Chains A and B, each alone.
Chain A
Amino acid sequence: MDKTKRAFVGGLLAAAMTAGIAAPSIAQQRIEIQFWHAMSGVLGERVDEIVKRYNDSQTKFTVVATNKGNYDEVINGTIAAYRAKKAPHITQIYERGFMTMLLSDAIVPVQDLLTEKKKPIDWGDFIKPVASYYQYKGKLMSMPFNSSAPILWYNKEHFEKAGFKEPGPTWQELDKQLYAIKSKGISECGSSLAGDFFWSLIENYSTVNDQPFGTKANGYVGLDTVFVYNKTKVVEQTKRLKKWIDDGIMQIAGQGLSPEQLYTSGKCSTFFASTAAHGSVERNANIKWSATYLPWEEGTQPRNSSIGGATLWVMKGHKAEEYDGVADFLAFVASPDLQVWWSKVTGYVPITNKAYEAAKKEGYYTANPTREIAILQLNRGTPTANSQGFHFGNYTQSTFALRQELESVWANKKSPQEALDDAVRRGNEILRQFEKLHAGKY
């Protein structure tokens, strides 16, 4: 028995050793840069294309891109890897993870790194709400990569049949139109509720209508921020959505069916969703589709909308020469040429004004006018304290609480005011815990 056991252990050791030797020998000349991302399917192929282009463009570094699942899985994978001291060099983290990453003590601020490595980046050229979301004390902490904004998708035919040229610019007008479309029997469903409605219909509602979401400039100037959206126009917005759902104007797709399908199949007349849906809408829609800006409240001056998406974070703990490659690759990602291409093939917005101008010059937006909506919406006016973005700690958790409470509203279990009060209470507990943990660090 002992002998077989020894042989077994010996075999294991041998296997481990050969594996250990084999791995580094592959890339002896080129320095390897690990890049973890959450882009699957077609988007994943596009990321692979970026990496291939970069690797072919120079001989010093090899970027290895790995899809680690969805956003949740990537941030968790990164955390686990960091704790095991095997973190990737670059990792793609969603916007809601900003504060977690910023105060993690595990990252290298991107602007510092690229400045140190003397990469010629025009830091003032990023689209404002993109930059402001990811800035801390005036510096970009991570490299903007895939940014989007919600827009209003609509079915042209439905609106035309009801005698409207296009959706009205305000919520009040849109409300009348959707009820008219339904009562005329043109479509039984005015709008399909997107899975990320808390983003398109609550958060972005607040930024466009210049409503505060939390105190301390939405968390930008202090960890002692508290949520206040239960005292703003969000209450009216929730009541409106609830009414729409009750009247069958707005429908919830439910598990097993994608909300986008309800729109692209022609069942629902509108859909509030990301501009990044361009890729799939163009491919799947059987309808005459178009898009326009998110509506705003009658009598208000509309502001910029906020962004969604993810950025590339640089992790601590690697060798200096590897950071040369990291900086080089990130500069490549931010270059206007690549951004123009990326935005065209994915539907995400170009992250710099240079890239936007370049695409415009080509006549790209004349040919594809709906592609320009998101960027015009983001560039509308100067961002205010309410519209620059959201810097709340553990933001995924409080977003989830908000979403859960709103579901209770749809289910008639709570009134809009009660639910928003509860969401704020739960959210504030999460903020206090974050404050306690990171006291004095922000």
Chain B
Amino acid sequence: MASPSSSMNPPTPALKTYFKSPEGRYKLQYEKTHPAGLLHYSHGKSVSQLIIAYLKEKSASQGPSAPSTPSSSSVVKSAAARLFVGVNGTKTFSYGGTNGGSKVASGTSKFAGTFGAGSSSSPVAANYDGKGTYLIFNAGDTLFISDLNSSDKDPIKAIHFSSSNPLCHSFDSEAKDGHDLLIGLQSGDIYTVSLRQQLQDLDGDGIFVVAHADGNLYVYEKSKDGAVDPSFPAIKDPTQFAVAHARSSRSNPTIRWHICQGSINSMSFSIDGTYLATVGRDGYLRVFDYYKERLFCGGKSYYGALLCCAWSPDGKYILIGGEDDLVQVWSMDARKIVACGEGHNSWVSGVAFDSYWSAPNSDGNSDGTEENAVYRFGSVGQDTRLLLWDLEMDEIVVPQRYNPHGGSPTLSSGSHSSAHWDSTPSIGTLQPPPSMRDVPKLSPLSAHRVHVEPLSGLIFTRESVVTICREGHIKIWARPGDGDVSEANSDAGFTTATAKDRHVTAPSVKVNGSSYKLTASNFIRN
């Protein structure tokens, strides 16, 4: 008979080494982890986070480019150690607007938020050749660097922190001074490190931003020393957004943004670096015009804190996920929530657009306007599952635009319950929680348990989906090959029809408990 332990609990199904999507099977290629026995004391305190670093090959024009800095291999340089000691701890940060006012073409500032790296479809991706792509993740008191394209399970390098646990990190491939990796510690200290130097070889301007658990975000200049004591005026009203520039020109950080009460849990720059999105403990998504230093738009979760956010590659949509178990889609044009994904059985801890995804037959339409674009995105949650979603935007947007009845439920802006469906909120305002009756619902294309532990993040790369759990174990799921498509199509167990029919993959909408495909007319009646 069954062993006592298995009889005591409902047997947990074993984890599979693949999962299915309309386009085929994603297979577990290999896993990455850290030495066992590392985490015993830090349980529940520091959550493993993951980023991807594409180390570009040095271009030939730059010559031998011997590192101009003495290769003292001095590992870390404390950027602002004294400033933040005693603050609740760094939460998240991001490289941003490196070339100040630069346009999309510059290809800079791609690295946004904790997981932004994967969703950026940068021109640099040409360098992605299977060499020089690294996974960087923290576990316990150590930061690990692992080669994405090697099937070796063990990290190639470990940076150990004796004073405090690393919590978050960010990578900037354009960093000319070589300090391309930021590491935030639980103590609130920040370190800038040269990943290139850490790994092999190695000029410098730029800024980076760091968000903290006390609701503040600081802008740093990389060229300045962090040793000068910054002086910022006291925060008058902790509930109000306020930007303060440092009194001394020598100060680094140079600017403080007070964003909200409570922690900023995640942030992300739009691909062109114009907008900065933050989500936090207070449940609000805030989108700032980064250069004007002004709130552009934003809104509240259904309830509870928001934990993650990510931009669509074209900068039109933002995914948010949090403690209401929902994945919501924010439209930058409509400045409100336009779709809401139900499917996770616990908090949503990571969201990302698949920027490498191209919708089948998307060029087959005669009216082929951009509004028909299908977006593929993924989400991971504390329910240990990875969910894949499709978002077909014409069907979400059209009902508002061609609303013949002139009004779905509309409440005054003072009301606590509803978004306006026939008007776009004015710039610079925050929206109340969406009313669940009014927002189109999405259902996931696929949902798969991929780890044993709750997940903390995901990244899409050209060849794979990379997932990480809170305890620092990573799995790399290879995208379906061409041969896998037919296999998926013939699989009777799979309920969603093939991706070839554009309309079938459309998000379905759920109204009053019954589920059916979303169409414009259905939605208007509601």
Partners in one complex: no
